[in-house]
Structures are given as C-alpha cells and as structure tokens.
Amino acid sequence: MQLQPKLIALQLLHLRNPALGEGLEEEMERDPRVCVMGEDVGHYGGSYKVTKGLATKFGDLRVLDTPIAENSFTGMGIGAAMTGLRPVVEGMNMGFLLLAFNQISNNCGMLHYTSGGQFTIPIVIRGPGGVGRQLGAEHSQRLESYFQSIPGIQMVACSTPYNAKGLMKAAIRSENPVILFEHVLLYNLKERIPDEDYICNLEEAELVRPGEDITILTYSRMRYHVMQAAKTLVNKGYDPEVIDIRSLKPFDLYTIGNSVKKTHRVLIVEECMRTGGIGASLTAAITENFHDYLDAPVMCLSSQDVPTPYAGTLEEWTVVQPAQIVTAVEQLCQ
C-alpha cells in the first residue's frame, strides 16, 4: 500500500509535463483528427517537453516539426482546422506568435463569420509566456492584452496541473479557436490529478479561497503571489476571497459578480501590462455591471509599462509582489 504514493511521485517528476502532456496525449488517442505542429515539437519534445514522446507514439505527420516560420505554420494550422482537423499549434515562446498575428487576427478569429458560417476553426494555439527568470524583454512577453480584442477568439490561462490538463482537453474539443496561455515558471508544479477523464469549463472562473472582506481577481502565476499575500492578510485579520478568473475572454461575470455583491471591494492582480491589459478590461466590466455594489473603486495591480529588464533585481521590481498586494488590500479595506 505504501508503493502507490511513490509511483505517483515518479510520474509527476517525469520529464514530460504530466498535466499538459497527458491531456494532449489523451485527446490524440480519443480523436484521430487531433494533430500538433510547431518548432521542435516532434522528437525533441517541445521547448518545455510538453510533447515529449508523442512523435514516437503518433508519428511525424500528427506531430509535425516545422521550420522557424510562425506565420506560415500558424496559417497551415488554421487551414487544417478549416478542412476538418483539430490542430494544436505550439509557439516555442508566446512572443514569437507576434509573427503570426495576421493569421490569428484576420483568419483564425474571423473566418467563421466572414465565411457565413461555412467554416469552423477548431484550433488551439498554446505556448509558454510571462516573466521567467532573467529571460530578457523579448522572451518575457505577456500577450493576453494583444489578443483580447480579436473577435471570435477565446482565451484561457492555466495555473495548476489540474486546470492545465482540463483546459487543454476542453480547448481541443471546442469548435472555437482557443488561445491557451501557459506560464514559463509553472511547468514544474506538482499536483495529484484524477485518473478518470475530465475537462474544465472554458468560460468558468475558479473560487480558490472563499472570503468576506474583499474580492481578489487574478490568474496564471499571480495566483501564487496572491495566495502568499492571503496568508499574511489572514494573520492581520482580513478575510480575502480569491478567484482565479482562468477565462480571459469571455470573463465569467456570474462568478465574479456574486463575489462582488458579497464583499463590495475588488482588487485585480495581474502580470499583464497596466495599459490596455486584462485588468483594464476587467475593471471596465465590473464597473459597468456591478457599480452599485462597490463600496470602493476597483484597484488593479499590474506589471509596469516597461520592457522586462534582464537584471534579476530589476525584473522583480517590474512584477507585482505579495507585499504590494497586502498593502493594497489594507488600503481598500480602510
């Protein structure tokens, strides 16, 4: 009986990310239309080993290594989706997908509408992003704000092994184009996930911690900064409610609204840039829909509007830290 936890631990420490990799593998087994394409996704296994072992199992046509040509292979994926396949396109780094912005905006998001409903685009575009550890400005992009205004695109951000697998599987099964944002610093997270098949709702937020005093809305890596701050806040006598919004487009205003109606105060914590970021859109949505329930203005903590520095100490200064979250809550709850 004591062997089982050890076996689970060994599985979690396997080189391939067990959550994203297992979710992708299970969907490829379930549906022969699912295929993967991107730079080094084949026998190398992807830049963060999400696709490790899939080329050996499914072959080079279903796990297709591409040239360094993001605009081309993203367009190829969109075309494959139009003709009946369910491609998963990996950007080696989310910043590189700026080279495919034309394909994502003018084709991926709009073709269902501009074709009069003749085509659906069941494609998943995924990859690592966010501020890592001294990866430099070009490899520390947060592109959520770039893509959120594109009509016809859904966007989700995973933050745990459980929701990473569930969102991956749900995105692959969706008839809509979905961008799945992964964070470079969360690939090594470990968590026991169910053996049975499950998916997560692409349009549903997750209540991480119930509370009464203030609603803290966050996603991706900032979930962990918020929970670290929450421990300090509880010791100081505050009772914060923490929600991982997960769905960046559309927002789950039902879950968010119920929390706002209970706490009457809102703090948004994001790693996205302050100007035109997810937090700005979320602030507008809360103000428009739940203004009468607010006892204080919505506050948003975001990354600074500067290129991410390479120097570690400067890099840390550009991203919201737990101490700033504690200070903001104390200010809002005065």
Q: Which two tokens stand for residue 148?
A: 């959120």
d(CA 206, CA 203): 10
Peptide bond into 250 cis (omega under 30): yes
d(CA 232, CA 238): 9
Which residue in the list 22, 25, 27, 70 is annotated as catalytic? Answer: 70
d(CA 323, CA 320): 8
Q: 316 catalytic, yes or no?
A: no
d(CA 259, CA 327): 21
d(CA 156, CA 171): 9
d(CA 320, CA 328): 11
Q: Which two tokens stand for residue 51?
A: 């696709």
Count how many Cα atoms sit within 13 Å of the Cα of residue 221 in the half-sphere of its side chain: 24
Q: 29 catalytic, yes or no?
A: no
Contact 301, 324 (CB under 8 A): yes
Looking at this protein, which amino acid is placed at residue 216?
I
Give the residue from 27, 11, 61, 23 showing the smallest Cα distance to 41. 61
Which residue in the list 27, 112, 139, 183 is annotated as catalytic? Answer: 139
Sign (positive/negative) of CA torsion 131, 137, 139, 142? Answer: positive
Which residues are part of the catalytic machinery?
70, 139
